[in-house]
Amino acid sequence: MAELNQKDTERVMAITDLIHDQITDTLHNDSDLAGELDNSVDEEIDVVRFLFTDGRHVTVRVSMDPPTS
Q: State pLDDT tens for residues 19-53.
A: 989 988 888 788 777 778 777 777 788 898 888 88
3-state DSSP call for residue 33?
helix
Integer Cα distance of 37 and 8 in angstroms: 30
pLDDT of residue 10 exceeding 80? yes
pTM over 0.85: no
Q: In the chain, where are the structural domains located?
A: 6-61
What was the pLDDT predicted at 18? 92
